[in-house]
Amino acid sequence: MIGDVLTQPPSLDALRERMRESLKGIVPDFEIDYKAELAHQINLLKKEMNAVILGHNYMEPALYQSVPDYVGDSLQLSAISAETEADVIVFCGVWFMGETAKVLNPKKTVLVPSNRAGCSLAEGISAKDVRGLKAQFPGAPVVTYVNTYAEVKAESDYCCTSGNANKVLKHLLDQGHKRIIFLPDQYLAHNTARELGVGFITAGIDDHDSIPADQPTVIGWDVRCEVHELFTVEDVNNVRRQYPDAVILAHPECSPEVIDSVDISGSTKAMVDYVEQTDAPMYALFTECSMGDNLAAQFPHREMVRSCSLRCRHMNQITLEDTLDGLRKLQYQVELPEDIIALAKKPIDRMLEIR
């Protein structure tokens, strides 16, 4: 069980110094001084309230380096939320992440610091859409990406993240399924199907009659991440021309063409691990831009090509100011109907089992 997070918070001076050291060259000192005060207040309140703060890898660098008890990708943070002994879970990430934590902890208070931190994937599919697909492809198991709202998960058989999509799909293929519905990210579904050498169609776009009866096929949905879909092969080629020694990493929410043109594809955790464990002359990331700053801060001996053109406007909602406000006012609380919690728990539990 995770019960060891509530250690004594550092003094304001110690926290400010730690932040100045880890964010050197990334965040100017005057900004750190202001943010360290907010972070210090958050840390005091967190202890007083027996709260745990989970920070997604896309959080802005000063927040990422100061208040979370745990940082990671959506799979890691879901697993941690399932085991915490804290009374209050503050999810510094987007709303669907808070919902997943609530399904796993129905009796705890789960807060997301902004109620406007959505996600283009989660907003691109409804429970009714899933019911429609199930009627269209009877018997096909439904895998939903964790980037969905709980009512969609409640209609699903399995959930997955980009960290275990391959394993979940393989698990179903090994059971002999020939049709697997994989929602809603068209690119993640297509990239994962290609990795496993199985066919792919997009429901409502491609001709369903063209699916060969005896060959496994993944059925996807016509929705993409509004950030990752903007990266192009030309962007990758430009980085290669300018930085020929750079290893280029991309999140699998990028298009299959972009994934083909980069060196490594993986979840945000896989990217962190790669940068930590390999020794390339330089790294370039095709993902949400805070990751570059966070990796540069975490691994100062690594050279990162950093750009900040593509920031997720949803992740960007989560600030230190709102996190402090959230703890003070116990807002924004994630609430879900009991029947949805009961139905969504099974696919989420399966996601946590297949890792």
Nearer of residues 121 and 140 to ligand SF4, judged by Cβ: 121
Nearer of residues 119 and 236 to ligand SF4, judged by Cβ: 119
Q: How many residues bind ligand SF4 (CB under 6 A)?
A: 13
Closest CA to 44 of 61, 23, 59, 66: 66
Task: Establish if 267 lies at the interface with ligand 13P (CB under 6 A).
Answer: yes
Stretch near ligand SF4 under the rule CB under 6 A, chosen from 115-123, 161-169, 188-196, 266-274:
115-123
The CA dihedral of 318, 323, 329, 335, to the nearest 10 degrees, is 50
- The DSSP H or E segment spanning 202 is strand 199-202
Parallel, antiparallel, or unpaired for β 246-250 and 264-265? parallel
Task: Establish if 76 lies at the interface with ligand SF4 (CB under 6 A).
Answer: no
- φ, ψ of residue 130 in degrees (nearest 5): -65, -40
Per partner kind, with CB cut-offs from 5 to 8 A, the member of ligand 13P, ligand SF4, none near residue 314 is ligand SF4
Site string for ligand 13P, 162-191 (x = CB under 6 A): xx----------------------------
Nearer of residues 267 and 294 to ligand 13P, judged by Cβ: 267
Beta bridge partner(s), residue 219: 181, 201
Task: Establish if 288 lies at the interface with ligand SF4 (CB under 6 A).
Answer: yes
Task: Establish if 229 lies at the interface with ligand SF4 (CB under 6 A).
Answer: no
Beta bridge partner(s), residue 183: 144
Helix-helix angle 74-83:338-353, to 10 degrees: 110
| Cα-based angle 166, 2, 299 (whole degrees, multiple of 5) | 65
CA distance 79 to 297: 25
Cβ neighbours of residue 186 closer than 8 Å, sequence gap 6 or more: 202, 220, 221, 222, 223, 224
CA distance 282 to 260: 20
Nearer of residues 109 and 317 to ligand 13P, judged by Cβ: 317
Q: Of 105, 268, 290, 294, which one interacts with ligand 13P (CB under 6 A)?
A: 268
Task: Establish if 253 lies at the interface with ligand 13P (CB under 6 A).
Answer: yes
Q: How many residues bind ligand 13P (CB under 6 A)?
A: 12
Closest CA to 22 of 63, 72, 59, 54: 63
Per partner kind, with CB cut-offs from 5 to 8 A, the member of ligand SF4, ligand 13P, none near residue 226 is ligand SF4
Minimum distance, C-beta of residue 225 to ligand 13P, in the bound complex (Å) = 5
Stretch near ligand 13P under the rule CB under 6 A, chosen from 157-165, 233-241, 255-263, 298-306:
157-165
Interacting positions 45-74 with ligand SF4 (CB under 6 A): none
Closest CA to 224 of 187, 251, 258, 259: 187
* Residues at the interface with ligand SF4 (CB under 6 A): 94, 119-121, 147, 225-227, 253, 288, 312, 314-315
* Residues at the interface with ligand 13P (CB under 6 A): 57, 73-74, 147, 161-163, 225, 251, 253, 267-268
